[in-house]
Structure 1
Amino acid sequence: MPLLYHFCQRRKWWFFCICIAALGTFISFEHLKYSKTMAELIVNITYVAEREDQLVHGVLDLSKRMDKVSDKLNVVNRQIRSLDASVPHERTVKIFGVQEAVNETDDILEENLRNLSSTLLNVQLGPKDVEAVERVGAFEKSFPRATIVYLGDNDVKRRLIHASAEKDVSIKVIDNRPYGTTMDPDRPEDCNLGIAEFDEPVFVSNFSLVSEGAWLTDSASNGSEIYVFQQQGKSKTVLKFNSTEDLVADKVSETFNLPHPWYGTGHVVYNGALYYVREKPLGVIRYEFAARRMRKQKELDHATIEECTYEDSELGGVELAVDETGLWVTYCNTGTL
């Protein structure tokens, strides 16, 4: 019995030693795997840090190159301006507001321009300063056409434009450039059309019972008349006020009844005539206030309101504009403008 007991005790000891040895081997193996993973992670972090450093240096190098390119571009721009200053420029101006006679000749127009330049702008035009003059557009009795003046010297052009910009007179002188020409802010003659500041809005009048409408003035007239539209799609009435004061006081001068209800807010008044938009069918109507009747109408066959790409309001979709060249209509056509 004692021998058997000692034998069993010895076998348990050896089993315990074997388990400890196996566990130690397993722990060592896992430690090696963890160490290998940590080593790979450190290598990756080092690689990323090196690439990040390279990227930072690359960005700095690119920034330096861009600065050099910018400096070269500034030098080129200065050279272009220098060359541009040495090239003769178009020495023409466009003048608005010069009254026109029925049998006006170029000599009469030139003499009138010289007098206006002297009296209104304080710019004296010598015998060689004006090379030629001409009117633009078709003759109208009620509204003078613009005048193109070909000048003999670019300095005279600059003085005329600057004097017109500084003085509030009946004529306006601008550079005769095509519409859409990009202005160069470094050239002083281009600065006269810039906006200096905006005044605070002034409350004029409120039609409390009307949620939609429009008010217009005659852009071809120097008068102060105001035309008011109320209740889109329901009313054919246009109210005329002789001045802003009458509008504030609700003092109606005349009432006009249109042949069709108006639609939207994009109407215009020009030279005593109203050009307005009707809805059904969609079109443009010319209504003369003096005759109190419709003179012309034009349907917009392919115009659409529902799929308008530039107007998201039910109050628009068709916009009218007018200048000395004619009437302009902007509207949507099956998703396009």
Structure 2
Amino acid sequence: MKIALVTDAWLPQMNGVVRTLTTVADELRRRGHEVEVISPDLFRSVPCPSYSEIRLALTGPREVGALLDRFCPDAIHIATEGPLGWAARRYCRRRGYRFTTAYHTQFPDYVASRTGLPASVIWPFIRRFHGPAENILVATETIREQLREHGLTQLHHWSRGVDLATFMPDYPPPDLFFELQRPIQLYVGRVAVEKNIEEFLDNGHPGSKVVVGDGPALERLRQAYPQAHFLGRRSGEALAACYAGADVFVFPSRTDTFGLVMIEALACGTPVAAYPVPGPLDVLSPGSGAMAERIEDAIAEALSFSREDCLAAGRAYSWDASTDQFCDGLALISREVQMARLQAAAA
């Protein structure tokens, strides 16, 4: 099958959305599918205001449509609500092509945290974007319920996975961890305002706080919290070693729809502390994740958990199952449309 994946989030940017899309695309290719990624690196782009790592493509339906026409896909999946997503959506609507979308980020809350606008102002934009989709791929039941409340009901379950060959508890801790006061409290992810990292860094539980990742708030937080340890971006075995060497993984975000880093931490045997919000409520189970309105309370509880139980919880997720769910949710362009395209190409 030929699958077109349209996304405004792509390499070299690195976050949970990009990791999900790149991993599933690789798995699709391994299974013999042909995947065409339409991403900002194919166009002129400008940095997103207040978040320069995100590139906004300067293009429209004609240019995106030309790439889709050339590829002649069997299915079109639009991953994000950015300029490329809107361009592909318009193209599909004009051609009468079925397509799917995904709700990766709580976009109204994300915009609210960056602009001060109420999230309610953004929901009409979300309903308009996703409304015509054949299926909206969503990771958790909590987010599905939220979308249903806003009139979006064509929802399909698409969970996440862990690279179990990389994320496991067998790595020695980074050298720095031998010098730190225990317990080591770890955050991994984008260093940005919507991730609520200040509440992690302000928590009063004894021990050391370590931040892995980069983003627009990194330098500001380094200056504001000199007692914390900021290690920058890490990946692969170096990242797994940070997870495995920590005593607790802290997930302070209130705006994520899943939280891929939580299951990566669990797969390394590290318990998770979080707020009782969408994402953690769906991913964490008793004995592997603790949730409380005071993050200090969640940390204290998580430190009592068995690392073996955490490991078992993390290993329940696989990218193979995630890719199956993605394929099941795709909407094939109709046979009639495919035949018309073939006839036009042969004429």
Give your verdict on TM over 0.5: no
Q: Which has the higher contact order (CA 8 A, sep 6+)?
A: 2
Superposition TM-score, scaled by structure 1 size: 0.25
Name whichever structure is richer in strand by fraction.
1
Name whichever structure is richer in helix by fraction.
2
